[in-house]
Structure 1
Amino acid sequence: MSDAPVGFEHFFTSSYGIHHSRRVNGDGSVSYAASQDVEAILDHNKKLATENDGWNKTRDMRRVASIPIMLLMKWQAEEGWDAFDPHNADRLAKKLNDPDYAHLRTAPGRIGYTNGVMR
């Protein structure tokens, strides 16, 4: 499959659209790679960002962002933090408020983090 990096063999695609590939190295060890086409996710985010304010009908929950799984994995591998860990909520809020990550947002406004709660 063409989604595999050079030298790797594609072996499955997950239900999230993540393409998993592997390579057997000369010493017998195995290397793995994963990739994901995120364009559809980002296009959907752009549509949602202008659709409404993100609040549900009862206004007790708000949609704010949609982050591709591969980006979450990249942050964990390269920056050493887990976006799902509540202890990292302040770091996640900072990322989502950064103009460099505006393409992840699905509703207008800033995300706040005070007293241990993301708002």
Structure 2
Amino acid sequence: MATAISDIALTPAAAARVATIAERQNKPAILRLSVEGGGCSGFQYRFGLADAPDSDDVVTETDGVRLVVDSISLDLVRGAEVDYVESLGGAAFRVTNPNAASGCGCGTSFSI
């Protein structure tokens, strides 16, 4: 398990939301971000709570909440920031990914 703060970041707003969700579900405050093939632009982000980091995960921590990303997904999101935003259209985790050449309107899909 590697810790690389500059590889990916979790904003305080996202950390607070993860902590709230984890507390409600009686789980550790660990958010897993992974990238899968698919979506309208080629790749899509997947979020979920994790019980523990895996051995190949990169881990970053904000306000006691950990964000974990597997080594394969990290190549696609290195330098990204995970935020939690609320707007009239709803609330969601958002990834600002400097590696994405384009995205889609839903904000969950991207291409390189």
TM bucket by the smaller chain? under 0.3
Which protein shows a greater Rg?
A: 1
TM-score (norm 1): 0.22
Q: Which structure shows the bigger proportion of residues in strand conformation?
A: 2
Choose between structure 1 and 2 for higher RCO, CA contacts under 8 A separated by at least 6 residues.
2
Scaled by the length of structure 2, the TM-score of the pair is 0.23
